[in-house]
Amino acid sequence: MDVRLPHELNVYQDIFKEFYLSKYSGRRLMWQNSLGHCVLKAEFPKGKKELAVSLFQTVVLMLFNDAQNLSFQDIKDATSIEDKELRRTLQSLACGKVRVLQKIPKGREVDDNDSFMFNDGFTAPLYRIKVNAIQLKETVEENASTTERVFQDRQYQVDAAIVRIMKTRKILSHTLLITELFQQLKFPIKPVDLKKRIESLIDREYLERDKNNPQIYNYLA
């Protein structure tokens, strides 16, 4: 997920990149922005604090070093954070338990016409404060897409388990193979998906159906 980093963070990335590439030749360094986190030192009128925040939260908050009030569109243009992720980030900073920003007008949702300002009145008993991210609810389509991606990632584990079982047993019925797979695989999976992986291995000539009984599989060495 892309994000436009402030100059201060770009400097640190460039320093590390130079160090990394000097140590490991022929490699490519890619930053996973959605996994980044930082500790920001913040000076509020009622005391200094350290904020443990995500990289996206960091990028948004650092904009307020140079501005007292910013619109949603201003922040979006300055950070290039994807729309849904930016709304989630701003919710965590202005609508959650730790409100280091103020949202105008007040409310739980972030709208296109909202503006945000540094919360001069922020106070908290602890010196270091973790600002938790807001979890978004998945739509039905997103949930289905996530499930499909997870299954694709697990296909190799399923294929390996089928080959491992058949290599040991040599000949096995469909029912017994499915039963053993359920015992070996550590994640939930549907029988219809297991059948698809078996068919795929037959197509790739790892297995074959028995000529006299299509419900029995033979392992092909």
Global pTM exceeds 0.75: no
Which tokens go with 117? 């300002």
pLDDT band at 140 (very low <50, low <70, confident <90, very high): low
User: Cα–Cα distances in Å, from 77 out to 9, 54, 81, 148?
Assistant: 18, 19, 8, 33
Q: CB of 119 within 8 A of CB of 131? A: no
User: pLDDT band for position 137 (50/70/90)?
Assistant: low
Q: At a CB cut-off of 8 Å and minimum separation 6, what does 206 contact?
A: 162, 163, 166, 219, 220
**Model pLDDT, residue 144:** 74
**Angstrom distance (rounded) from CA 221 to CA 207:** 9
- pLDDT value at residue 138: 53
Overall average pLDDT of the 63-71 stretch: 93
